[in-house]
Structure 1
Amino acid sequence: MVLSLVNLCAREVVSDHSSSPYWLSCVPRELYRALLDAAFTHCRPLAVGELVQRWPERTLTVGGSRKAGECPPNRLCVQALLLAVVRGLTDKRCCLQMLDLSGLQCENGRVEDSMGGWSLSVALCSMVLQARAAASRAHRRDGERERKRGLEAERDRGTIKRDRGKVGCGNSGEGSQGGHGVEEVEKMECKTNERMLPEDESVKGVRRRMEIQRRKTISEGKSNTSSNSSRLCDQDWDEVVVVHVRADLFVNSRSWERVRDALSQPGPLQLHCHYLRVEELSAPSIASLLGLLPQCVLIPDAVLICAQMVLSLVNLCAREVVSDHSSSPYWLSCVPRELYRALLDAAFTHCRPLAVGELVQRWPERTLTVGGSRKAGECPPNRLCVQALLLAVVRGLTDKSSLSQPLEVLKLPYLCLTSTDLAYLSCSQHAPFLRELDLSENWLDESSLPSLRRLLAQAENSLCQLSLCGCGLSDSLLSALLPSLSSCQALRRLRLALNPLSRTGLLCLARTAAGIPSLRLLLYPNPLEEYEPGLPALPSSAQLLDWPLLEESEGRDLTLRLLEEVLNLRGRSRDLLVTSDLLNYSPDLTVDE
């Protein structure tokens, strides 16, 4: 009841602008908030301006979260608010030091007489630049006023000296008239001293010395050029920030220059970014914008959203961001999780191992996919980037700055992993939590098997999907790996396509797969006996993919018949799907129990 009565009274008070000189002079500071809310609610821009210009508190918050159905602030009221902030800089009654305008913009563009985020950002930057220009003009006026005052004092002093000289010359020719002239000069000096000096004789000497020192400073300043004087004046007041403004910034190509000037030029108003939205802005401009928002100034919950951009522009932005490692503390603290993928791809593409390591250490998801199919002639990923990736994964959950949650999906195809890399990977603390592991197209040899077996041993209770396609697994390597595969009792999908296996090695794989109760899919490679003659002793996955198969179907029919016998002996012919069809194979292909 009391609150509604205060609001009703505030509405009546701000409704009549002609009475503002009366209630502004006597209203207590506790009622300013209610009066300002009423002025915004009932669209009284003149009242808004007068209240903000003499705001009695250090902090003013306008905007924030609005209730459902509540109208946004009127455009005229917002403009009056911004103008009043500039006028309040020279008003001694204003105590404002922190202005929070975050959330003030209208998100619904259909609301009439409201101010959206794009126009509000332009108005805010104009306010900052206007305050700086007004302070500069006021400072120059003060300097000019001091200079004129000093010149007047110098002229008065020079006139007295000339009159005294004339009197001295007159004494040589006229005795009585000279005495009369001395008396006149003494009277003039007394009048000047009475005007310039106080009556108290005890402080006359101190005041006199101060006046001499001031005139000396003015005379020294006159010898400098006007440009240097202006620069020195700017240095005097630029470092003093009167009001800190916290707001949301919406930046596009049309408003970029104004936003840049407002953020780069110092002045009595310091602009802080709470929420940043960028559209239709080139990559160099976005990089410059990030440089204007240092971490020490930016509000910690700042968010960068690049909306409605084409993918190529996003990639260009990511390239600019990761190119400068000195700026990584900034963009790592505010970049949204949706952009981590683009930044990591850019770091790999343009060889930024430091950025790779820092991104993986802060990876916000439980799925990490790096690599993918490479085009013909495309260079493999840089070794430094791969090592930085593995080192960040190995750190696991031990480093406070690293991954905050264990990885469940790790896909590292086409990275040319070596035995040393796999040794690093097998030491990761994420291994016991892995549900999917993809090491396809990474060539495996005898030196890599111990690390791979150790990795599978750690993930045997959680691993549900394993892909080792195109890894160069021969019969001997596969026979050494089968015991580790048989221990993965949670495995549901096993993909081993494009490996150089004979029909004998394939049957050994089928027996091991049939012995895993949870397995539902086996993607096996075509045995070497089904290819036309001419294959090398240990063909690569690309050769197996391009080499033609025999036109006769006897070899394929024999393989299918032998596989069916193995499944029947194990009782897995119904719940285990085995296939070698890469063309019609779907990653989501499963067989229900």
Structure 2
Amino acid sequence: MVLSLVSLCAREVVSDHSSSPCWLRCVPRELFRPLLEAAFTSCRPLAVGELAQRWPERTLRIGGRRKRGQTAPNRLCIQALLLAVVRGLSDQRCALQVLDLCGLPGDDGGMGDSMGGWSLTVALCSMVVQARAAGQRAQRKDRERERKRFSALERQKDLKRERGQLKREKEPNGDEASNDTLVGVLGEEELIKGVRRRMEIQRKKESALTGVADTTKENEENDLRSNVLVHVRADLFVNARSWERVHMALSTSGPLKLQCRYLRVEEISVSIIKSLLDLLPRQGLLGIDVRYSSLRVAGLAELLPLLSTFPALNSLRLHYCNLNFRRVHPGQEEALKNLSQGLAQLHELQSLSLTALHLPGQLRALLSSLPKPLEILELLYLSLSPADLAYLSCSHHASTLQQLDLSENHLNENTLLSICRLLSQASSSMQHLSLSGCGLTDTLLGLLLPSLGGCQVLRTLALALNPVSMAGLMELVRMAVRMPSLRQLLYPNPLEDYQPGLPDLPSSSQLLDWPLDEATAISRTSNQLSQVLIESRRSDLFLTCDLLNYDKDSVE
């Protein structure tokens, strides 16, 4: 990555923190962005805080999709940013109104010293609560200052009133009476009455102030709710350890208002998920990801109507949620009908991801009710039947699919025709395809290659953990280099790369656990594949067998 002259100069400026008082006074607003990016890249949390506290624009966006080779922001820099946002609430130089942290750091957190999704969510919630407390303290100080000023004005009025009374009570010769003469004229009884009158007025004032104090909390809530200074947008990651803190932050009224774009929840019940959804603004939520929560069919049917109240919701992910249609139990048909009706209410749904839900033979009942064709469909570990794949290849979703993941669904001769038909329907739209762990042998892969080659805009292809020989792999790579749109191929390790003892037709789990011959076989395979790339002049095609670090979104 070639850095511009502005970026190089910005890195040099933020590298010396002792000089920040000099350049912060005179730096133009156009240079705040490159300086902040340089501070994040060089891990300069003090510079990050100073720039964020004086941010001159309405919006500050940190996050989004990172380019290949670009690391996530450092944890200390993110913490400094959040602290600076709170300090900037009382800084007249700060014009910030929207802090956008969506896409930071990512779905499962970053590597190294970056801040993970769960830690970021907890830090954001703490920031919102702290800002509320600071706002309440500031309001109390303002109210106390105003009360003292009002009391001082009243005392001045009383003094002026008494002085006016003294001026009117003069001696017959017109001269002003002395204090001793005044005591003699008013008498002891009149002085007592004056003191009592002043005490009574003061008591009425105190009772009025007491009545105001009883409603102080309500007034503070109304003021904080109406005086939101900064809207904070983020992707929230909530689990059993943090949901109470997130619930508090979402229900808190203060100068910072927390908003959620994508909500990911793990290991929490349906009732808690519903309570969190009730606190989210209806327009901001784009997607929800539920993982390792025992929803069961009844819980999902209860959750779907609430999801339909979010008009912009376009993504639904359900992973390991204990939905099992393999076992026949009373009320199963009614539950499936409720699920279908709930999905029919999600009018903007474009992405659906299901993992390990055990729904063989039920794909038609679920997907046919969706009013809008899907663009992203992920069906992992679903034990799809031939009827499911046959429906999918002929459904109204087939021609609009841009991303399809059928990993860990066993394919054979009976289902391969449906896959080929599906790829033919999606040939002009499919950009990302994953068939990892599907039991594709050399024969099945050979039958599938023509349909794969017909995908005109395919950019990434994942075929890991399939029992393919070296000959089958070479055929796959030769086909891949003839696809001009393809940028990344996750290929399976050929059977020859494994150490002896592997079964003839190993499963994906066996291929994953069996040791590889890393001394000679892997390097020999890599050299042969590199030679194919050199001969075809495809320097833009990235080949990898690293399943753990494979990322389809890294393709530019």
Q: Normalization by structure 1: what TM-score?
A: 0.51
2:306 corresponds, among 327, 346, 349, to 327
User: What CA distance in whole angstroms lies between the structure 1 residues aligned with 2:141 and 2:73?
Assistant: 37
2:341 corresponds, among 327, 349, 357, to 357
What is the match of residue 500 of structure 1? none
User: What CA distance in whole angstroms lies between the structure 2 residues aligned with 1:107 and 1:372?
Assistant: 28
- Deviation digits for residues 44-103 of structure 1, max 9, x if unmatched? 111111111111111111122223333322222111100111111222221212211123
Structure 2: which amino acid aligns with 1:359?
L
- Larger Rg over CA atoms: 1
Q: 1:78 to 1:244 in 2, by over 3 A?
A: same
2:224 corresponds, among 231, 237, 240, to 237
What is the match of residue 124 of structure 2? 124
Q: CA deviation at 1:128?
A: 1.1
User: What CA distance in whole angstroms lies between the structure 2 residues aligned with 1:29 and 1:70?
Assistant: 25
SS of the aligned residue for 1:43 comes to: coil
Map 1:548-567 → 2, pairs under 5 A: none
Structure 2 residue runs without a partner (length 5+): 181-204, 376-384, 396-413, 416-556
Q: CA deviation at 1:303?
A: 3.1
What is the match of residue 189 of structure 1? none
What is the match of residue 66 of structure 2? 66
Question: Are the equivalent residues in 2 in contact too, given 1:97–1:243 (CA < 8 A)?
Answer: yes
- Deviation digits for residues 359-389 of structure 1, max 9, x if unmatched? 3687969xxx99999xxxxxxxxxxxx9xx9
What is the match of residue 280 of structure 1? 267
- Deviation digits for residues 312-346 of structure 1, max 9, x if unmatched? x131xx53442367514147945626569977979
SS of the aligned residue for 1:20 comes to: helix
Question: Are the equivalent residues in 1 in contact too, given 2:48–2:80 (CA < 8 A)?
Answer: yes
Q: 1:288 to 1:17 in 2, by over 3 A?
A: same
Structure 2: which amino acid aligns with 1:329?
S
What is the match of residue 151 of structure 2? 151
User: What CA distance in whole angstroms lies between the structure 1 residues aligned with 2:66 and 2:101?
Assistant: 13
- Deviation digits for residues 159-178 of structure 1, max 9, x if unmatched? 12222323333x14663234
Question: Are the equivalent residues in 1 in contact too, given 2:288–2:317 (CA < 8 A)?
Answer: no
What is the match of residue 336 of structure 1? 316
Structure 2: which amino acid aligns with 1:336?
L
What is the match of residue 52 of structure 1? 52
Aligned length: 352
User: What CA distance in whole angstroms lies between the structure 1 residues aligned with 2:166 and 2:274?
Assistant: 72
Q: 1:229 to 1:67 in 2, by over 3 A?
A: same
Q: 1:161 to 1:32 in 2, by over 3 A?
A: same
User: What CA distance in whole angstroms lies between the structure 1 residues aligned with 2:394 and 2:49?
Assistant: 60
Structure 2: which amino acid aligns with 1:288?
S
Structure 1: which amino acid aligns with 2:288?
V
Q: 1:321 to 1:136 in 2, by over 3 A?
A: farther
Q: CA deviation at 1:39?
A: 0.9
What is the match of residue 494 of structure 2? none
Q: CA deviation at 1:110?
A: 8.5
Q: CA deviation at 1:38?
A: 1.0
2:290 corresponds, among 305, 310, 314, to 305
SS of the aligned residue for 1:303 comes to: strand
Structure 1: which amino acid aligns with 2:341?
G
Structure 2: which amino acid aligns with 1:90?
S
User: What CA distance in whole angstroms lies between the structure 1 residues aligned with 2:173 and 2:131?
Assistant: 64
Question: Are the equivalent residues in 1 in contact too, given 2:344–2:371 (CA < 8 A)?
Answer: no
Task: Report which structure shows greater RCO (CA 8 Å, sep ≥6).
Answer: 2
Structure 1: which amino acid aligns with 2:228?
V
What is the match of residue 102 of structure 1? 102
SS of the aligned residue for 2:249 comes to: helix
What is the match of residue 78 of structure 2? 78
1:401 corresponds, among 371, 392, 395, to 371
What is the match of residue 135 of structure 1? 135
Question: Are the equivalent residues in 1 in contact too, given 2:72–2:110 (CA < 8 A)?
Answer: no
User: What CA distance in whole angstroms lies between the structure 2 residues aligned with 1:3 and 1:325?
Assistant: 48
User: What CA distance in whole angstroms lies between the structure 1 residues aligned with 2:71 and 2:392?
Assistant: 53
Q: 1:15 to 1:149 in 2, by over 3 A?
A: same
Structure 2: which amino acid aligns with 1:161?
R
Structure 1 residue runs without a partner (length 5+): 182-217, 374-385, 412-429, 435-463, 466-593
Q: Which has the higher helix share?
A: 1
Structure 2: which amino acid aligns with 1:255?
S
User: What CA distance in whole angstroms lies between the structure 2 residues aligned with 1:32 and 1:270?
Assistant: 24
User: What CA distance in whole angstroms lies between the structure 2 residues aligned with 1:107 and 1:431?
Assistant: 28
SS of the aligned residue for 1:270 comes to: strand
Question: Are the equivalent residues in 2 in contact too, given 1:106–1:114 (CA < 8 A)?
Answer: no
Question: Are the equivalent residues in 2 in contact too, given 1:348–1:356 (CA < 8 A)?
Answer: no
- Percent of aligned positions with the same letter in both sequences? 47
User: What CA distance in whole angstroms lies between the structure 2 residues aligned with 1:338 and 1:53?
Assistant: 39
Q: CA deviation at 1:265?
A: 1.6
Q: CA deviation at 1:221?
A: 5.9
User: What CA distance in whole angstroms lies between the structure 1 residues aligned with 2:283 and 2:345?
Assistant: 22
User: What CA distance in whole angstroms lies between the structure 1 residues aligned with 2:318 and 2:262?
Assistant: 16
Q: 1:357 to 1:158 in 2, by over 3 A?
A: same
Q: 1:402 to 1:30 in 2, by over 3 A?
A: closer
Q: CA deviation at 1:30?
A: 0.9
Structure 1: which amino acid aligns with 2:156?
D
User: Is the counterpart of residue 314 in structure 1 residue 266 in structure 2?
Assistant: no
Structure 2: which amino acid aligns with 1:222?
L
